[in-house]
Structure 1
Amino acid sequence: MRTTDVARESGYSAQQVRDLERLGVIPPAVRSDNGYRSYTPLHVCALRAYRGLAGAVGPVEARRLLAELRTATVTEAASAVDEVHARLARERAEVLRAQRALQGIRAEEEDGRDDDFMTITQLAEALGVRSSTLRFWEEEGLLRPERVTTLRARRYGPAAIRAARVVVALRAGGYGIPAVREVMGALDGLDGLKDARRILRGRLDRIAARSVALLRAGADLAAVVTAADATRAAPGSPE
């Protein structure tokens, strides 16, 4: 197959095919006497597999993983792909747990429940985080505790406790500080929790898209792995 043939079958441009070969995403093409590249259908499978892996785990890790799969045994390759599926499942479980936490906060608001004031130590124990984590969140503008006594000790009232629980939920859902800060900035408004739930739904949608990308890569990944296994099993091949 010529470079243009591989590009057409894989959905990449001819230049992208050459670049991905240079990066080691696909094995080197055979060169003819006049220097032209000659590819095989397996190169097409490798490129399509890379597209799916890149959609699931990002391009850098996809390159590393695909290079490993080309030299791994079937058992090793299956384990590596299973781990990607398991990672996506863990990320999804984290977001679902964060959603449940937000639903609990909303239910308490609707029931008119009110929390007592807490010290930083009490709140840290209640949330399962370190006191230093609460202080860091305060420095980042995510929490606003009251300052009481001459020692300026922190005291967390109902609003601050609720905010801390939202931060915990979002962080458990995999969100970085900037994204959490955006949500917390809206919490004082009427749609604060609604915004937090919207962000978590968006993350679930992105995880689903990554899972679908991995599923689409499945047949091509299998072709790459079984071809490598067949090469090792061929007479005269190195052990």
Structure 2
Amino acid sequence: MSTAAVAAASGYSAQQVRDLEALGVLPAAKRARNGYRRFSAAHLRALRAYRDLAHAVGPVDARHAMREIRLRPPRQGTALICGFHARLNDEREQALAARLALESIRAEAATDAAPGEADSMTITELSQALGVKASTLRFWEKSGLVAPDRVTTRAGTARRYPLTAIREARITAALRASGYRIPDVQKAVTAIRDLHDVSHSLAALDTRLEAISQRALALLRAGTQLAEIITSAPAPGLSRRFSARAASAR
């Protein structure tokens, strides 16, 4: 196929096809006697795989993966793609944990145990409001779940919990009461911190979960194409000899 033909079949422009070849996303095309590129079905397969892979994991990681799976042994290429699935699953679990945290804090806010609307609280006030020990709050701080301010007093320094820290403590308390382990709570708090517009947190998380679902589907669509690329890649020894010849030619 000519550059124009493979571009029409893949949905990319002719210049994009040439750029992706230069970036190593595509294997080098053969050249006709007149110097024009000649592409094959393998190039079209790679373009289709790259489109979905870029949607799933981003263009930078997708370009790296398309280059690597042609150079690595099949088991390593497979592991690379499996890592993308695992990463997407981690993102999904974090978003789900954050959503549960927000639902929990909404329910907890309606109870008598919810802290008041003060601008800040001492560690004693917050521990009493949440029904946990002060040592528990210090442990949560050490685990990165709550970040109190430090204020200077006559006796030295003391913890002061602003509204953000109170909110994180409430989320942590709600999730721990629901049986979540510290690593799971850390995921939830991290996700909550990434949501800058708290008033629309649940909607933002639902949007994020839908986006993750669409990316996961794109990764699944790419799977068949990537499997063919991985299994048809040259043996590692051949790849190394080819790389060595190319280096000596330069």
Tell me if TM exceeds 0.5: yes
- The residue correspondences of 1:3-152 to structure 2 (distance < 5 A) are 3-115=3-115, 117-118=125-126, 123-126=137-140, 129-130=143-144, 134=147, 149-150=153-154, 151=156
3-state DSSP of counterpart to 2:71: coil
3-state DSSP of counterpart to 1:155: strand
The answer for the alignment partner of 1:222 in structure 2 is 227
Give 5+ residue unaligned stretches, structure 2: 116-123, 128-133, 173-185, 243-250
Kindly state the Cα deviation for residue 134 of structure 1 after the two structures are TM-superposed. 1.5
- When residues 216 and 175 of structure 1 are mapped into structure 2, their CA distance, relative to the original with a 3 A threshold, is farther
Contact 2:48 2:225 in 1 (8 A): yes
3-state DSSP of counterpart to 2:160: strand
- What is the total number of aligned residue pairs between the two structures? 212
Contact 1:94 1:174 in 2 (8 A): no
> Which deviations, in whole Å up to 9, do the C-alpha atoms of 1:204-232 show, x marking residues without a partner?
1121111011011112112211221xx43
The answer for the alignment partner of 1:172 in structure 2 is 190
Instruction: Please give the alpha-carbon distance, in whole angstroms, between the structure 1 residues aligned to 2:108 and 2:29.
Output: 63
Moved over 6 A (4+): none
Identical aligned residues as a percent: 40
Counterpart amino acid of residue 38 in structure 1:
R
> Which deviations, in whole Å up to 9, do the C-alpha atoms of 1:150-172 show, x marking residues without a partner?
45633337885125555967643
Kindly state the Cα deviation for residue 238 of structure 1 after the two structures are TM-superposed. 6.5
Kindly state the Cα deviation for residue 53 of structure 1 after the two structures are TM-superposed. 1.2
Q: TM-score, normalised to structure 1's length?
A: 0.75
Give 5+ residue unaligned stretches, structure 1: 139-144, 184-191
The answer for the alignment partner of 2:178 in structure 1 is none
Counterpart amino acid of residue 82 in structure 1:
C
Contact 1:148 1:155 in 2 (8 A): no
The answer for the alignment partner of 1:142 in structure 2 is none
Instruction: Please give the alpha-carbon distance, in whole angstroms, between the structure 2 residues aligned to 1:208 and 1:77.
Output: 23
- When residues 227 and 49 of structure 1 are mapped into structure 2, their CA distance, relative to the original with a 3 A threshold, is same
The CA RMSD over aligned residues, in Å, is 3.3
Q: 1:155 aligns with which of 139, 151, 160?
A: 160
Counterpart amino acid of residue 208 in structure 1:
S
